[in-house]
Amino acid sequence: MLALEDIKILDLAHLAPGALCTMILGDLGADIIKIEAPPEVGGRGAGLGLSPRGEEGRRQAAFDPLNRNKRSLGLNLRSDEGRQIFYKLARTADVIVEGFRPGAVKRLGVDYEAIKAFNPRIVYCSLSGYGQDGPYSKFSGHDINYISIAGALNLIGNPDRPPVVPLNLLADFAGASLHGVIGILAALVARGKTGAGQYVDIAYMDGVISLLTWFVGHYFSSGAVLSRGESCLHGAYPYYGVYEAKDGKYVSLGCVEPWFWENLCRALGKEEYIPYHISAEHFLHKPEGDKWDEISSYLKQVFLTKTRDEWFEFLTSKDVPTGKVYSFDEVFTDPQVQHRQMVVEIEHPTLGKVRQPGIAVKLSETPGKVRTFSPLFGEHTEEILLGLGYTEAQIGELRQAKVIG
């Protein structure tokens, strides 16, 4: 049994954040139909995030974890016939996830109110940059813009340099994808109690501010503004940072608690550094005083005396929080990553064993599973329509009329 195996989801989220949201739900057992507009339909976003086509696309699909455990239905929602097919699917669906700019699904006639009218149990989740309302709701944007407005970007990097762009992890995948999953699951739990679905409005920007809750709490409490690269968790202090090793690779050090700092100092034979550790002012201010400069300089020099892996073996044996700074070609050979099954091998009918990222949510009784590879565009169109009662002749007519793909 899979935790969500009776949950049916219609996926209109055509970009990676929405795809990760539904991937997680699919890994946990949900039946997900990815609704894809044929590129020949036209429009500004035509073909964006589209599943690959043809035999050449099978390799691309095999290595695309974001759309695993999904079926693809090529459907033109701009046509009346296409909308009617969507409505038939929506009548028995549990969840709809969409990632368009606010107002787009209403223009297509597949918005929450339209679906709720005939399926009041529907959980309808919208993922958008700034949310469905407010002065910025119609603005375009990407991760870098949302983390700017939320205050995260200004906190990342060194104090004497411009902010460092942290990939698109914060707004796209944590702010939107993960908060989307949480919102959907919470709404499904509520539906189990009330019998009614609801609308889930997820904004990338809101999610980032939520991720900053701990830091924002300090700001509201003291009024002090956290500055880039100047706090204990920014790498400003020597007990929490990254150091180059003898082989040119890097080691991360995370001695936030005083006992871990003491373990490090004793391991290095520098007991005189033990009193110099975290205090309340470190959260907001960069280190001041010659002693901090001395300690930082010493650690930079001492880490150059062993290789990265030698430091990891030595310091972990002394109960010092440390990590090897990996590149991707090292991550998936790490014994802990392998033990936690965060790389999985799936047998492909033509490519042999294919590796993909594993499932992070570990459930003891109903564990998730990678059941199918990502689909080709429209790979399941006929199967889905036959399940809705369409005949092969009707499907042929719909395809000729470019209602389906």
Any idea what the CATH number is for the domain that residue 133 is in? 3.40.50.10540
Task: Note the pLDDT of residue 161.
Answer: 92
pLDDT digits (tens, 9 = 90+) for 287-323: 888 999 999 999 999 999 999 999 999 999 999 999 9
pTM of the model: 0.95
- On whether residue 222 sits in a domain, the answer given is no
- On whether residue 217 sits in a domain, the answer given is no
- On whether residue 187 sits in a domain, the answer given is yes
Task: Note the pLDDT of residue 218.
Answer: 87
Indicate if 304 and 342 belong to the same structural domain. no
Residues of the chain predicted below pLDDT 70: 42-48
Task: Note the pLDDT of residue 224.
Answer: 85
- On whether residue 352 sits in a domain, the answer given is yes
Task: Note the pLDDT of residue 278.
Answer: 86
Task: Note the pLDDT of residue 38.
Answer: 87
Radius of gyration of the chain (CA): 25
Task: Note the pLDDT of residue 197.
Answer: 98
Report the alpha-carbon distance of residue 243 to residue 321 in Å, rounded.
13
Report the alpha-carbon distance of residue 103 to residue 51 in Å, rounded.
24
Report the alpha-carbon distance of residue 50 to residue 35 in Å, rounded.
10
Indicate if 369 and 278 belong to the same structural domain. no
Q: Based on the number of CB atoms within 10 Å of its own CB, is 329 exposed (0-12), middle (13-18) or buried (19 or more)?
A: exposed
Instruction: Tell me whether residue 172 is one of the annotated catalytic residues.
Output: yes
Task: Note the pLDDT of residue 55.
Answer: 78
Query: How many domains, the chain?
Result: 2
- On whether residue 50 sits in a domain, the answer given is yes
- Which structural domain, as residue segments, surrounds residue 319? 240-244+250-324
Indicate if 207 and 271 belong to the same structural domain. no
Final residue of a structural domain among 271, 293, 324: 324
Task: Note the pLDDT of residue 136.
Answer: 98
Indicate if 179 and 276 belong to the same structural domain. no
Q: Which of 80, 133, 142, 319 is catalytic?
A: 142
Task: Note the pLDDT of residue 44.
Answer: 56
Indicate if 274 and 139 belong to the same structural domain. no
pLDDT digits (tens, 9 = 90+) for 362-396: 999 999 999 999 999 999 999 999 999 999 999 99
Final residue of a structural domain among 324, 354, 373: 324
Indicate if 316 and 386 belong to the same structural domain. no
Indicate if 147 and 284 belong to the same structural domain. no
